[in-house]
């Protein structure tokens, strides 16, 4: 219905009522099944059906819902057909120079659990790097390397392909799986061991796989595919339902 900021302004203006009363400034928890919410006198119904889209983000596309510099965003790629009337947003982010799997949804509960560090959701990448890493380099990535923002957690690392040559010639294709979400983490990890990333593609995010989806292509995920994933992330816990900003679902308030 509105962005978080617009919704907060709407509540502060007095346009929102809970069972006919103005909610207090500190907010109030509601039960969508029994409480009546109105905006300027009109009833508001909670979203009952979410939409999930897997996108193969092309290079150069910005991971945001709107870009002030008018650059192409991930929502531009899927267009109105992909959005299908839903207020979609990207779950997590991929830099402009990184391609691959990105989930778009309007399910804030799922997005919170996919991106919160406590859930340690895996993110799988295929990197093409300059040179041939040594076995010691690979072991360092597997155990953790010291970046400027701290030691990285152990990662799954496999060398998929190398070209003949010395450590500093040729190229290598490396699979790396991390369970953190630091800024440009994979690139910085590989730079730490002395190998510049030539290309980086995300091929997995939790149980989701990119498969044969072409760059710029997208597919809608059917709800029936989600139960095992929901169970793994404890999505059915009624005492910890949160929106995309980490606020408990059902809380009406400002700030």
Backbone angles phi, psi at 182, to 5 degrees: -75, 160
* pLDDT for res 223: 63
Note the pLDDT of residue 46. Answer: 66
Cα–Cα distance for residue pair 104/107, rounded to 1 Å: 9
Residues belonging to the active site: 95
Supply the pLDDT for residue 15. 84
For residue 231, what pLDDT is reported?
Answer: 57
Distance CA 193, CA 111 (A): 32
pLDDT digits (tens, 9 = 90+) for 175-227: 999 999 899 999 999 999 999 999 999 999 998 999 999 999 999 987 665 55
pLDDT for res 239: 41
Token pair, residue 10, equals: 């709407």
Look up residue 180 and give its two tokens: 């953190």
The pLDDT, as a whole number, for residue 203 is 98
Predicted pLDDT at 129: 96
Under DSSP, the state recorded for 12 is: H
Q: Which pair of structure tokens corresponds to residue 231?
A: 């169970």
pTM (predicted TM-score): 0.74
The pLDDT score that the predictor gives to residue 235 is 46
What does the pLDDT read at residue 248?
46
Could you say which residues of the chain have pLDDT below 50?
235-255
């Amino acid at each position: 219905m509105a962005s978080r900021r617009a919704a907060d302004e709407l509540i502060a203006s007095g346009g929102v009522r809970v069972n006919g009363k103005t909610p207090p400034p500190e907010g109030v928890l509601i039960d969508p099944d029994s409480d009546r919410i109105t905006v300027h006198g009109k009833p508001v119904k909670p979203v009952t059906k979410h939409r999930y889209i897997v996108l193969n983000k092309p290079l150069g596309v910005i991971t945001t819902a709107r870009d002030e510099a008018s650059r192409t965003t991930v929502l531009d790629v899927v267009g109105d057909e992909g959005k299908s009337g839903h207020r979609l947003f990207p779950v997590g982010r991929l830099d402009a120079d990184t391609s691959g799997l990105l989930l778009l949804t309007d399910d804030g509960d799922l997005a919170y659990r996919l991106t919160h560090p406590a859930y340690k959701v895996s993110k799988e990448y295929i990197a093409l790097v300059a040179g041939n890493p040594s076995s010691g380099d690979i072991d360092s990535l597997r155990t953790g390397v010291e970046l400027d923002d701290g030691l990285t957690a152990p990662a799954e690392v496999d060398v998929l392909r190398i070209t003949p040559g010395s450590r500093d010639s040729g190229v290598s294709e490396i699979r790396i799986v991390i369970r953190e979400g630091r800024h440009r983490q994979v690139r910085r990890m590989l730079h730490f061991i002395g190998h510049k990333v030539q290309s980086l593609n995300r091929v997995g995010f939790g149980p989701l796989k990119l498969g044969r989806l072409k760059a710029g292509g997208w597919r809608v995920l059917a709800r029936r595919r989600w139960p095992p994933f929901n169970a793994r992330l404890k999505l059915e816990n009624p005492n910890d339902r949160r929106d995309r900003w980490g606020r408990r679902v059902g809380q009406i308030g400002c700030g």
